[in-house]
């Protein structure tokens, strides 16, 4: 009897944002994978630095209720059965921005040249941002099995994340920077 191919289990990208060095290799790896060139503006993951020294990757939290998918008026977004990642049908996307408004973290963003939205698709189950982060030893990002959790809690605006990280890193002094 031939061996059945095991279907990969859905993953999620766990994040320890306080470990981020701001190297931006995750942006580079993502753009190389998706765009076939180094183009951080077209990366599905973006590193924010709203306060010097407080840098972190910002990308899709893969919310369990997928508000971006629900908001799309033309069904250009769908959830992959295999990975549970949000996938963009770029030829259907009308670049209306309703998915951005629906996202609690305002994470989807427009492609810099093409008329469609960009959202992390987990690189088909092998996220390149995780690979480069692990290889570099920063361990900010880690692929873990997706289980029943409230992933939407991780979908926060960059300003909120910056505030929390600054307090964690600088304590009471963070108020001076915020």
Q: Where are the domains of the chain?
A: 11-176
Cα 128 to chain center, whole Å? 11
Task: Provide φ and ψ at 142, rounded to 5°.
Answer: -145, 130
Q: Are 57 and 128 in contact (CB under 8 A)?
A: no
Q: Are 123 and 35 in contact (CB under 8 A)?
A: no
Q: Is-above-0.85 flag for pTM?
A: yes
Q: Are 10 and 84 in contact (CB under 8 A)?
A: yes
- CATH number among 3.40.50.1100, 3.40.190.10, 3.30.70.20, 3.60.15.10, domain 11-176: 3.30.70.20
Per-residue pLDDT of the chain (178 residues; tens, 9 = 90+): 555 666 668 999 999 999 999 999 999 999 999 999 999 999 999 999 999 899 999 999 999 999 999 999 999 999 999 999 999 999 999 999 999 999 999 999 999 999 999 999 999 999 999 999 999 999 999 999 999 889 999 999 999 999 999 999 888 888 777 7
């Amino acid at each position: 009897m031939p061996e059945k191919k095991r279907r990969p289990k859905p993953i999620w990208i766990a994040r320890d944002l306080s470990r981020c060095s701001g190297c931006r290799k995750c942006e580079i790896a993502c753009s190389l994978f998706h765009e076939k060139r180094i183009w951080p503006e077209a990366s599905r993951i973006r590193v924010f630095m709203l306060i010097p020294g407080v840098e972190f990757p910002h990308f899709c939290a893969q919310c369990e209720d997928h508000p971006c998918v629900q908001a799309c008026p033309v069904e250009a977004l769908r959830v992959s059965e295999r990975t549970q990642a949000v996938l963009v049908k770029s030829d259907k996307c009308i670049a209306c921005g309703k998915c951005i408004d629906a996202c609690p973290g305002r994470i989807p963003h427009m492609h810099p040249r093409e008329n469609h939205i960009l959202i992390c698709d987990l690189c088909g189950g092998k996220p390149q941002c995780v690979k480069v982060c692990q290889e570099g030893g920063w361990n900010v990002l880690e692929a873990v099995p997706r289980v029943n959790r409230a992933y939407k809690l991780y979908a926060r605006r960059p300003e909120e994340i910056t505030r929390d990280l600054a307090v964690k890193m600088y304590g009471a002094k963070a108020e001076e920077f915020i």
